[in-house]
C-alpha cells in the first residue's frame, strides 16, 4: 500500500530528487517549499510521513516539527530532518522538537528508501 509523504525543502532540485526517489517505490508524494506552506498543507490533509529541511525561509524545520507535534493527528507521524546541518547541537534540538530521525545532505537515495521503509513499517 502506498503511503502519503510530504517533502518540505526550499531547494527545487532537492524536492525533485527526493520526490523521484520516493515515487520509485510507489509512494504518494506531495511537496512544500517551506515550513509555513507545509503546516498549511498539514492542516488540510494528513500525511503518513514528513521529510523536512531545517534551514528554510518563513518557517524552519524545527519550528515546523514543534507545530506538527502540537497537532493530535501528527503526534505519532514519523518526521525525518534532511539537512546540511550535521552538528550534535542541532540534532539535539531536532530530537527535543520531536523529530524521529536526522539525515545529512547530500543524501544517498538507497539510504533514504531504507529509512522510509523502516519508519513506515
Q: Residue 52: which of 37, 36, 65, 69 has the closest Cα?
A: 65
Q: Using one digit for the tens of pLDDT, what is the confidence trace for 37-79?
A: 999 999 999 999 999 999 999 999 999 999 999 999 999 999 9
- Whole-angstrom distance between the N-terminal and C-terminal Cα of the chain? 11
Is CATH 3.40.50.880 the right assignment for the domain spanning 4-120? no
C-alpha cell at 78: 514519523
- Pairwise CA distance, residues 87 & 8, whole Å: 20
Q: Using one digit for the tens of pLDDT, what is the confidence trace for 6-37?
A: 999 999 999 999 999 999 999 999 999 999 99
Residue located via cell numbers 515546523? 64
C-alpha cell at 54: 531545517
Amino acid at each position: 500500500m502506498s503511503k502519503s509523504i510530504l517533502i518540505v525543502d526550499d531547494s527545487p532540485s532537492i524536492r525533485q530528487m527526493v520526490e523521484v526517489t520516493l515515487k520509485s517505490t510507489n509512494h504518494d508524494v506531495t511537496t512544500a517549499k517551506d515550513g509555513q506552506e507545509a503546516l498549511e498543507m498539514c492542516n488540510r490533509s494528513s500525511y503518513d510521513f514528513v521529510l523536512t529541511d531545517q534551514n528554510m525561509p518563513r518557517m524552519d524545520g524545527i519550528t515546523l516539527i514543534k507545530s506538527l507535534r502540537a497537532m493530535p493527528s501528527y503526534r505519532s507521524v514519523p518526521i525525518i530532518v534532511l539537512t546540511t546541518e550535521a552538528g550534535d547541537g542541532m540534532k539535539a534540538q531536532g530530537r527535543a522538537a520531536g523529530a524521529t530521525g536526522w539525515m545529512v545532505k547530500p543524501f544517498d537515495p538507497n539510504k533514504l528508501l531504507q529509512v522510509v521503509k523502516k519508519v513506515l513499517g
